[in-house]
C-alpha cells in the first residue's frame, strides 16, 4: 500500500532550482514536498560549479609559483600532490553541503523524500512508496553529461564531470573531447597541475563567445601548453586504461592516459514518465515564457526547461515561478539579461548580445566601445594586462557586454545590472569607482562611449571657446 500525501507544491529535484523554490515557498507559508533521488545540492554542488572552481583555485596557486619572476620572486617548480588537491575539492563541497542538506530543509518545514519520482497521472507523482498529489508540481531535475555516440567510446574507460573529481592519481596526459567552458576550464586546471592536455573540439573552442575575446583566453591556454585541435570531430576511440588512442575525423591521432568527455548536457527526464502526466517534451521539457508545461499544473525550471543551462538561471527560474504559484501574479522568464562566465585564466564573461549579434539585430544603430585592461593601473600594478572589455550600445543603452581578463565574471555584474534595468551608459560613466581597482574598466568603457562626442568635436570646441570669452 502506498501512503498518500497531499500538498500545495511538489518539487522534483533538489538542485539549485528546486532548493531555491522549496526554501522560498516553505518560508512564505506553502506546504512543500521535495523529491530527490540522488544527492542534495544537485550537479552544481557535487560535480559542477563548486568542485571545478575549487580545482581551478588549486591550479592557480601552482601557476603562481611558476610565474613570480616579474615581481622579483624566483620561480620554482611546484611539488603537486594531486590527491591532496582533490581532497581540497572534497573539503569545499563538504563545507557548503550543509546549506543544501536534508536536515536544513526539513528545518524549514519542507517534507523531503529521498527517492526518484515518476508521474502516475496528470495529477499525481509516485516516489519512495508515496503517492503525492499537489496543487502545483515543479520539475527541477537538472541535467547530466551528454555522452556522444563515438565509435569505440563504450569500450574504454572515460570520465565526465560526475567522475572526474573522484580521481586521486594525476593523469599523465588528459584527452578532453569538447572545447566549451567545462572542457577549457579543466584543460587549463590540469595543465597547471602538471598534466599534458589535448582538447579535441569539432567546431571552434569557446565558440559561443565573442571570437575576439575568446581568442585572448585561448592564446593563454596554448601558451601554457594546452594543445587545442579545432574543427575535427572525435571519430574513433580505442585502447585500455592508461593508454587511450583517439582518432579525429581528419585523421589526426592522439594518445593519452585518461579521457574526459565534455561535449554538453542532456536533460534528466527519462525517469519521470512525462507522457502519463500529459507533459510535452523532446530532448527537454516544452515550456512557455511563464515556464509552464502543457499540463497547467506542472512547471519546469532550470536545465530541463531547455534554456540556458546555468546554476544562476535555475535560481532565477525559481524566483520567477514563485509569483504565480504563491500569489497568482503573472511572471515571465526573460533571457536578454542573463550573464555567463567561463573561469579560465583570463576569465571570459558575457551578458546580452555580442558585438556581432548586436550589429545583426540592430544594424547601424549599434555601436561598440572598448577599453583595454592594459590601460587600467591596477592591471599594470599586478602585471595582468591581458584583457579587454567590449560594450555594445544602442540609443545610449548597453545591450551586451563581453569581458576577457582578470575577474571578468565579477566585473560583468555592473553590465548585467544595467541591461536588466535599462540603465543608460551615462549612469555607468557617472559612477565613481575607487582607485586603483579593476572596476575602473567598466567606468572607462562607459566613458569611451562619450569620448567621440566630447573630444575632437568642432561644435564642442567652439562652445567652450565662446563660454571662455563671455563669462567673466
Q: Which residue has the cell 572552481?
A: 53
pLDDT value for 52: 98
Reported in sequence order, the residue ranges of 16-84 that DSSP labels E, i.e. its strands, are 32-35
Residues 321 and 346 in one domain: no
One domain for residues 291 and 232: no
Please tell me whether residue 338 adopts helix, strand or coil conformation: coil
What is d(CA 422, CA 122) in angstroms, rounded to the nearest whole number?
A: 41
pLDDT score, position 465 = 82
The pLDDT assigned to 456 comes to 76
- CA-to-CA distance for 442 and 370, rounded, in angstroms? 10
201, 231: one domain: yes
Region class of 361: left (phi > 0), else alpha (psi between -120 and 50), else beta: alpha
The candidate with the shortest Cα–Cα distance to 180, out of 263, 112, 118, 105, is 263
The C-alpha atoms of residue 161 and residue 52 are separated, in whole angstroms, by: 9
Give the per-residue pLDDT at 463.
78
Query: Percentage helix, strand, coil, to 5, in the chain?
Result: 40, 25, 35
Where a domain ends, among 275, 297, 327? 327
pLDDT at 345: 97
The reply to whether 201 falls in a domain is yes
Query: What is the torsional sign of CA 224, 227, 229, 234?
Result: negative
By the 10 Å C-beta count (0-12 exposed, 13-18 middle, 19+ buried), 161 is classed as buried
Domain check: are 444 and 299 in the same one?
no
3-state secondary structure of 170: coil
Are 167 and 255 part of one and the same domain?
A: yes
Extract the C-alpha cell encoding 298: 506542472
pLDDT number for residue 457: 76
Same domain, 368 and 411: yes
285 DSSP assignment: B
Closest to 299 (Cα-Cα) out of 271, 253, 332: 332
84-119 per-position pLDDT tens digit: 999 999 999 999 999 999 999 999 999 999 999 999
Q: State CA 275 to chain mean position distance.
A: 31
- Secondary structure of 172-221 in the HEC alphabet? CEEEEECCCHHHHHHHHHHHHCCCEEEEEECCCCCCCCCHHHHHHHHHHH
Residues 200 and 223 in one domain: yes
Check residue 466 and give its pLDDT.
82
Q: Would you say residue 47 lies in a domain?
A: no
- What's the confidence (pLDDT) of residue 461? 79
Same domain, yes or no, for 411 and 430? yes
What is the model's pTM? 0.94
Domain at 175, CATH number? 3.50.50.60
Asked whether 244 and 255 are in contact (CB, 8 A), the reply is yes
Instruction: Classify each residue of 345-363 as buried b or exposed e, where b means 16 or more C-beta atoms within 10 Å of its C-beta.
Output: bbbbbbbbbbbeebbeebe
3-state DSSP assignment of residue 304: helix
Query: Same structural domain for residues 244 and 392?
Result: no
Whether 117 and 13 map to the same domain: the answer is yes
CATH number of the domain that residue 395 is part of: 3.30.390.30
Summarize pLDDT for 290-341 with one digit per residue, the tens: 999 999 999 999 999 998 899 999 999 999 999 999 999 999 999 999 999 9
Question: Which one, of 123, 41, 61, 24, lies nearest residue 322 by Cα?
Answer: 24
What's the CA angle centered on 160, arms 220 and 97, to 5 degrees? 95
Report if residue 441 sits inside a domain.
yes
Q: Which neighbouring-strand residues pair with 227? A: 198
Percent of the chain with pLDDT over 90: 94
Q: Are 261 and 160 in contact (CB under 8 A)?
A: yes
What pLDDT is stored for residue 385 in this prediction?
Answer: 97
Q: Mark which of 245, 264, 283 sits at the end of a domain.
A: 264
Number of domains in the chain: 3
Q: What per-residue confidence (pLDDT) applies to 133?
A: 98
Are 278 and 208 in the same domain? no
- How high is the pLDDT of residue 158? 98
Residue segments in the chain with a per-residue pLDDT below the cut of 70 = 1-2
Indicate if 173 and 191 belong to the same structural domain: yes
List the domain range (segments joined by +) for residue 173. 153-264
Amino acid at each position: 500500500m502506498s501512503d498518500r500525501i497531499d500538498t500545495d507544491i511538489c518539487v522534483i529535484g533538489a538542485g539549485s532550482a528546486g532548493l531555491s523554490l522549496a526554501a522560498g515557498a516553505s518560508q512564505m507559508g506553502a506546504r512543500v514536498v521535495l523529491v530527490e533521488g540522488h544527492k542534495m545540492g544537485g550537479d552544481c554542488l557535487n560535480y559542477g560549479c563548486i568542485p571545478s572552481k575549487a580545482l581551478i583555485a588549486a591550479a592557480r596557486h601552482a601557476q603562481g609559483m611558476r610565474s613570480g619572476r616579474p615581481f622579483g620572486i624566483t620561480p620554482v617548480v611546484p611539488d603537486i600532490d594531486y590527491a591532496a588537491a582533490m581532497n581540497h575539492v572534497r573539503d569545499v563541497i563538504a563545507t557548503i553541503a550543509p546549506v543544501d542538506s536534508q536536515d536544513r530543509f526539513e528545518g524549514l518545514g519542507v517534507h523531503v523524500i529521498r527517492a526518484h519520482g515518476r508521474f502516475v497521472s496528470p495529477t499525481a507523482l509516485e516516489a519512495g512508496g508515496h503517492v503525492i498529489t499537489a496543487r502545483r508540481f515543479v520539475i527541477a531535475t537538472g541535467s547530466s553529461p551528454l555522452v556522444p555516440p563515438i565509435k569505440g567510446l563504450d569500450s574504454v574507460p572515460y570520465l565526465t564531470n560526475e567522475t572526474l573529481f573522484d580521481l586521486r592519481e594525476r593523469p599523465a596526459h588528459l584527452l578532453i573531447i569538447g572545447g566549451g567552458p567545462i572542457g577549457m576550464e579543466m584543460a587549463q586546471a590540469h595543465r597547471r597541475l602538471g598534466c599534458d592536455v589535448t582538447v579535441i573540439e569539432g567546431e571552434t573552442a569557446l565558440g559561443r563567445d565573442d571570437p575576439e575575446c575568446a581568442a585572448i583566453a585561448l592564446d593563454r591556454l596554448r601558451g601554457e601548453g594546452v594543445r587545442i585541435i579545432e574543427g575535427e570531430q572525435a571519430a574513433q576511440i580505442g585502447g585500455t586504461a592508461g593508454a587511450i588512442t583517439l582518432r579525429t575525423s581528419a585523421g589526426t591521432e592522439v594518445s593519452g592516459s585518461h579521457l574526459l568527455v565534455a561535449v554538453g548536457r542532456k536533460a534528466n527526464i527519462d525517469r519521470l514518465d512525462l507522457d502519463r502526466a500529459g507533459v510535452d517534451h523532446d530532448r527537454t521539457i516544452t515550456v512557455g515564457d511563464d515556464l509552464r508545461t502543457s499540463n497547467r499544473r506542472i512547471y519546469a525550471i532550470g536545465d530541463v526547461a531547455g534554456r540556458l543551462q546555468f546554476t544562476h538561471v535555475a535560481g532565477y527560474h525559481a524566483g520567477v515561478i514563485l509569483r504565480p504559484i504563491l500569489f497568482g501574479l503573472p511572471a515571465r522568464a526573460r533571457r536578454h539579461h542573463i550573464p555567463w562566465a567561463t573561469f579560465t585564466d583570463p576569465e571570459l564573461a558575457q551578458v546580452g548580445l555580442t558585438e556581432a549579434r548586436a550589429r545583426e539585430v540592430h544594424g547601424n544603430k549599434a555601436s561598440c566601445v572598448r577599453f583595454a585592461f592594459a590601460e587600467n593601473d591596477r592591471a599594470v600594478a599586478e602585471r595582468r594586462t591581458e584583457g579587454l572589455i567590449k560594450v555594445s550600445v544602442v540609443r545610449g543603452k548597453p545591450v551586451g557586454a563581453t569581458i576577457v581578463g582578470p575577474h571578468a565574471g565579477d566585473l560583468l555584474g555592473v553590465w548585467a545590472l544595467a541591461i536588466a534595468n535599462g540603465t543608460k551608459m551615462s549612469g555607468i560613466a557617472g559612477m565613481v569607482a575607487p582607485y586603483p581597482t579593476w572596476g575602473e574598466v567598466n567606468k572607462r568603457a562607459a566613458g569611451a562611449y562619450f569620448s567621440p562626442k566630447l573630444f575632437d568635436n568642432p561644435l564642442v570646441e567652439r562652445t567652450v571657446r565662446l563660454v571662455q570669452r563671455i563669462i567673466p
